[in-house]
Structure 1
């Protein structure tokens, strides 16, 4: 009885806190906006600089836009649309209700686990872990497995958080014949479901090793949280925050999109406005987070054969370039990408779509510059460079797709690692064939 009461009180306390933090989204609505010509398209794109709205999808004549609008601005926003004869409908009337549902599910999962004692070192998969929990976990792994794991610091984030990563190697990274696989998640703060993918990979390479060839034949670099400040901010109240926390022109118009800040066609297909989610910053690598990642890549560029930056959402394996131009090894990128996607599809839930594979522009239908995977390939010279887009929540195509159901957390890690394994083994086998010829 005492344990039951403790569980109920814990759930209520957690639920009260998480619900209160979403007050800023009370009455926020998600609009679907239909543009019919270039004039309307330009008008909608310019609205983001005029009033504090959040554009999730920039619409064009073949695809409607999606815009998040506060309760206070809805009447004015609708008047502006009407003045330009722009049609719309409301996809989500009150976004706060959906955020509170996510919190309720996560809090309920946490309260159930509080009654179960566990001696396992690995982090549980019934919640999305905060920065400090992950940071402490990496240190514990380094202490528990000193002959396999080395904890490194890439440097500090803008607000001073340490960006730790793991180097996993049976030979202390000294056998230069072994290819290196680089994994990264949470470059975009709101994409919480990507963290379980890197944590699951770490567990299967360090704690619960069922595929010993992956650690015997390969070395690994894994950076679980690429945007620590933005990630913490997304937990503290602004769930859909994407960028880092660079000070801007206001509390709304601030932050740099780290996945537009790398030195790969920087500034050519991104925004120069603080207010846009795709703001590219003052210059290539202007942000400490991207500069930290650059240094890791440069240090090991001669050995990294496979780079994967894990994002959400859309169930995709994407490769360069964000300009639409194909790399010289596009055929190999596609072949390996298909192998990885098929490995995921074989174990994914039937309710989730099959993964799409292809060039960033050909699949997404828009250009994007300054991305991590483009820099990894074109800048650092890594031959196989990809962006994973993990599945959306319950098939959503709106910003609700970023939300997380705790029942999918472990599955997200498991299925993504199946794709990673396929790519890693391809790298190993191809290099072995080259050495033997």
Structure 2
């Protein structure tokens, strides 16, 4: 009772600082052509337009706007003949509902064993606690390495699973964007399957070492729990700007500087220089120093895409056919679970252009041959905040796809 009361008081205190999205609405355009995508793209750098689905040919874009910017956004999109319609009347109502659900699940939860709570999202501190429990429970299999610290001093933990030397490695990254909560339980579930459900997955451990960076952006991830649900970036200061943070997935030294380099307020700000962020530098250094990595998997949300390099060009990688064949096989395995089907293809032509991403760094610079990025299914008003009820079915089906990738490494 005392622990539950303390938790409630702590949550009540954090709610006072939490950004309210009361009255925010989400506008959706019509399905865009190539020309309309190009005309809409400049709005992405304007703070009045918060894109939750970026413009791309063949799909609609979605934009969250505050009450004071609604008229401007609506008028601008209508003048561009993009037929905007309101698809969410009040984002704040749904955000508060999500927070209430999370609080109730935390208080009511009765932990049994070491399995992660797949019925809710875990804070960074809870992820740390789970990692410690796994390491203590499986000392001959699990080691945990501190590969660096975030701007605010949180530790970047890599969990390694190995039952013998001389094997290929599979690296799993999640949580590089703060607001993309669903990626973390997807990675946690894979870790859980390889430890708690060892009998069923022994072959995957006999063939490969596994590495997990469960929260690649711990400051941004934590801030999305305590202050702003839709925070994406790190929390580092930017010289000459009151806006904090850099997009760590635009900060790797691979085609760096092509996008978002001058506007520190942009969600895709690439930073003052490549590796300006300790988080991206630590990950890059660890990948470069780890031999025999055969596969790199990164979990993002949202969109329902299963992609491979590149994001910075529409040129295809040398083993594009192999990557596509593996992704299609993984997609078939995923679809067999609940019927959900991902859209498969190279990132730039399937989703949008992105520069300085860990995905392309892992493939081009480190030379990892099998690189895949999951954009998990969306949910909630902006796609980034699915209800807790979607966690378990999503991570279960994704695990089947991960097993296909691992078997191909």
TM-score by length of 2: 0.89
Equivalent residue number for residue 381 of structure 1: 367
1:68 partnered with 2:64: yes
1:234 partnered with 2:220: no
Distance 2:35 2:307 in 1: 31
Distance 1:36 1:376 in 2: 31
Structure number with bigger Rg: 1
Pairing partner for 2:148 from 146, 155, 167: 155
Q: Is the 8 A contact 1:19 1:100 kept in 2?
A: no
Q: Is the 8 A contact 2:119 2:388 kept in 1?
A: yes
1:355 partnered with 2:351: no
Distance 1:419 1:297 in 2: 22
1:282 partnered with 2:280: no
Distance 2:33 2:197 in 1: 55
Pairing partner for 2:296 from 307, 313, 323: 307
Equivalent residue number for residue 328 of structure 2: 338
Equivalent residue number for residue 219 of structure 1: 209
Q: 1:74 to 1:356 in 2, by over 3 A?
A: closer
Distance 1:40 1:359 in 2: 22
TM-score by length of 1: 0.83
Q: Is the 8 A contact 2:116 2:189 kept in 1?
A: no
What is the aligned residue count? 406
Deviations 1:287-346 (A, max 9, x none): 11111111111111x300010011111222101111111111111111111121111111
Q: 1:38 to 1:425 in 2, by over 3 A?
A: closer
Deviations 1:4-57 (A, max 9, x none): xx99x8998788667655553111122234699999877755456555442334
1:167 partnered with 2:160: yes
Distance 1:402 1:49 in 2: 20
Secondary structure of 1:100's counterpart equals helix
1:326 partnered with 2:322: no
Secondary structure of 2:349's counterpart equals helix
Secondary structure of 1:346's counterpart equals helix
Give the C-alpha shift of residue 414 in structure 1.
1.9
Equivalent residue number for residue 388 of structure 2: 406
Give the C-alpha shift of residue 426 in structure 1.
1.8
Give the C-alpha shift of residue 200 in structure 1.
1.0
Deviations 1:166-189 (A, max 9, x none): 111012xxx22x111100101111
1:122 partnered with 2:115: yes
1:179 partnered with 2:168: yes
Secondary structure of 1:238's counterpart equals coil
Q: Is the 8 A contact 2:259 2:270 kept in 1?
A: no
Q: Is the 8 A contact 1:35 1:87 kept in 2?
A: no
Equivalent residue number for residue 430 of structure 1: none
Alignment of 1:77-92 (within 5 A): 77-78=73-74, 87-92=83-88
Q: 1:23 to 1:342 in 2, by over 3 A?
A: same
Unaligned runs of at least 5 residues, structure 2 = none
Pairing partner for 1:106 from 102, 105, 128: 102
Deviations 1:188-211 (A, max 9, x none): 111111111111111111233121
Structure 1 residues 380-389 or 71-80, which shifts more? 71-80
Pairing partner for 1:136 from 101, 122, 129: 129
Q: 1:15 to 1:92 in 2, by over 3 A?
A: farther
Unaligned runs of at least 5 residues, structure 1 = 428-437
Equivalent residue number for residue 265 of structure 1: 255
Secondary structure of 2:84's counterpart equals strand
Give the C-alpha shift of residue 103 in structure 1.
2.1
Pairing partner for 2:195 from 192, 203, 206: 206
Secondary structure of 2:210's counterpart equals strand
Secondary structure of 2:51's counterpart equals strand
Structure 1 residues 98-107 or 266-275, which shifts more? 266-275
Q: Is the 8 A contact 1:22 1:99 kept in 2?
A: no
Give the C-alpha shift of residue 125 in structure 1.
1.4
Deviations 1:145-171 (A, max 9, x none): 221111101100111110011111012
Q: 1:57 to 1:413 in 2, by over 3 A?
A: closer
